């Protein structure tokens, strides 16, 4: 992948110094994959900084049209001539070396930078850079931080890997001294960032097509935490998560713990399913009432509160910001009602996330919880097969779609049908149409139907409701 590498002009060896020089007003940048959530936000940020931005993407969409409305020239499809008079390129991590625009840039000896590198350079100029990482909960926690920061009047710049109704999108370009970034560990992407507050929500085995094992993942998170300056800022870590605590053990940084452990620096107490008290260093700080359910969302709220406390948020900011948070897109998002059944959609794609989701759904006392699950990538399904079986068995009924390939090819010889054989009374259908028809026949009053997965399984719920 090109996302973590660059082509450097002859005689120049200081990679980051060159990037800093490139990100200057008046410079011409071409962005490959400009329509992606993070790339679109980056394009807006660069436009606001006075750069001349062009880009390309494989398809049209709202993000592309929005950028065009701001004067950004966007080509659909990839071709060498698309780069025009660009002085350097920024690429999404999904772009490979055989992309014609990459080839053309190399022929002209233009610098090529990854998206994460560019964001890292930009955030280095902010007083407060909150980077939210973890195997689960990144999008929700980043969204909660955004609600708190907006309530505090911080006018933040924001990059979320999902849709936040407050913003009307997944990103925001602000004028304040705070930037809030969802930070992904895959391919060590977050190691390019420059956090002053590094948040670690939790750590589990995932992305095993890139990481060797859990210890390798912990090592990556430790390097992420070490990016926080020694003299200021904080590493905000979940005391309730052993792997997260292992990752920062003995690290020479300001470690601030959060959790429902009574020894946590930012401690949640008296949780009743929707509200709890926050105590800071042994003293009452504020009372939080959430409109999103589940203990995992309470943990996310504590993480967001702790991060924002490190940047000066007041109790009222946290109380009001979290109270007004109604969820991010595809995070137990209510889609509608079909034949008396409540239809939801959720992005969960790791066994830990699925377990938390289904446990929370069962708390709602539905007649049946029906999980319509689409596994995400062959390698994850193979590596975590037994964990998926246990997690999906929590539903009253599991309906399986075929695995969403994403960036992979099925070289491991696995299918969702293999999961169906191990999960009691599970159903497997090779097409969305068959799943939709099955749900139409079986859905009834009192049921909760949840389409679950990071791919396009949400289309089943939309078809059902249509």
Q: Which residue has the tokens 């008046």?
A: 26
Please answer whether residues 74 and 64 qualify as being in contact, where contact means their C-beta atoms are separated by less than 8 angstroms. yes
Which of 44, 45, 121, 182 is the catalytic position? 182
- What three-state secondary structure class fits 189? helix
| Partners of 238 in the β-ladder | 258
How far apart CA 232 and CA 403 sit, in angstroms, is: 44
Which of 75, 138, 335, 382 is the catalytic position? 138
Give yes or no: 138 in active site.
Answer: yes
User: Rounded to whole angstroms, what are the CA distances from 329 to 37, 101, 143, 326, 458?
Assistant: 13, 33, 10, 10, 11
Which of 75, 101, 117, 139 is the catalytic position? 139
How far apart CA 296 and CA 350 sit, in angstroms, is: 14
- Give the single-character DSSP code of 61: -
Q: Where are the alpha helices (DSSP H) in 124-258?
A: 138-151, 214-225, 242-248
Please answer whether residues 375 and 403 qualify as being in contact, where contact means their C-beta atoms are separated by less than 8 angstroms. yes
Phi, psi torsion values for 54, nearest 5 degrees:
-130, 170
| Partners of 278 in the β-ladder | 268, 286
Give yes or no: 87 in active site.
Answer: no
Q: Which residue has the tokens 């973890």?
A: 134
Give yes or no: 182 in active site.
Answer: yes
Q: Is 57 exposed, middle or buried (0-12, 13-18, 19+ CB in 10 A)?
A: buried
Which helix H or strand E contains 335, and what residues bound it?
Answer: strand 333-338
Q: Which residues are designated catalytic?
A: 138-139, 182
């Amino acid at each position: 992948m090109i996302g973590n590498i660059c082509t450097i002009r002859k005689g120049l060896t200081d990679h980051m110094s060159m990037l800093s020089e490139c990100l200057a007003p008046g410079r011409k940048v071409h962005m490959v994959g400009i329509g992606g959530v993070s790339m679109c936000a980056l394009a807006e940020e660069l436009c606001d900084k006075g750069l001349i931005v062009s880009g390309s993407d494989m398809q049209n969409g709202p993000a592309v049209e929005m950028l065009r409305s701001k004067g950004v020239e966007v080509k659909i499809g990839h071709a060498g001539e698309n780069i025009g008079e660009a002085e350097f390129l920024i690429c999404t991590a999904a772009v490979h070396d055989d992309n014609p625009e990459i080839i053309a840039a190399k022929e002209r000896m233009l610098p090529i930078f990854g998206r994460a590198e560019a964001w890292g350079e930009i955030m280095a100029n902010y007083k407060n850079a909150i980077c939210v990482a973890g195997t689960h909960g990144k999008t929700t926690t980043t969204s909660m931080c955004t609600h708190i920061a907006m309530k505090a009047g911080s006018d933040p710049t924001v990059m979320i890997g999902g849709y936040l109704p407050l913003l009307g999108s997944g990103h925001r370009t602000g004028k304040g001294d705070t930037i809030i970034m969802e930070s992904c560990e895959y391919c060590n992407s977050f190691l390019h960032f420059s956090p002053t507050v590094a948040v670690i929500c939790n750590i589990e085995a995932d992305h095993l097509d890139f990481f060797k094992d859990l210890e390798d993942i912990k090592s990556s998170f430790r390097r992420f935490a070490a990016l926080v300056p020694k003299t200021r800022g904080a590493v905000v870590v979940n005391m309730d998560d052993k792997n997260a605590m292992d990752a920062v053990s003995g690290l020479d940084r300001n470690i601030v713990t959060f959790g429902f452990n009574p020894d946590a620096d930012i401690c949640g107490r008296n949780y009743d399913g929707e509200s709890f008290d926050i105590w800071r260093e042994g003293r009452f700080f504020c009372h939080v009432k959430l409109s999103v359910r589940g203990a995992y969302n309470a943990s996310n709220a504590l993480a967001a509160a702790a991060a924002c406390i490190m940047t000066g948020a007041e109790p009222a900011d946290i109380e009001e910001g979290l109270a007004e948070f109604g969820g991010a897109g595809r995070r137990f998002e209510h889609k509608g009602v079909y034949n008396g059944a409540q239809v939801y959609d959720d992005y969960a794609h790791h066994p830990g996330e699925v377990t938390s989701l289904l446990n929370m759904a069962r708390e709602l006392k539905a007649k049946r919880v029906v999980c319509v699950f689409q596994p995400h990538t062959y390698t994850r399904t193979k590596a975590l097969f037994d964990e998926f079986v246990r997690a999906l068995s929590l539903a009253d009924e599991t309906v399986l779609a075929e695995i969403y390939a994403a960036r992979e090819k099925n070289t491991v010889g696995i299918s969702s049908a293999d999961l169906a054989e191990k999960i009691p009374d599970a159903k497997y259908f090779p097409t969305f149409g068959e799943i939709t028809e099955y749900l139409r026949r079986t859905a009834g009053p009192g049921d909760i139907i949840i389409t679950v997965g990071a791919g396009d399984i949400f289309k089943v719920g939309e078809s059902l409701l249509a």
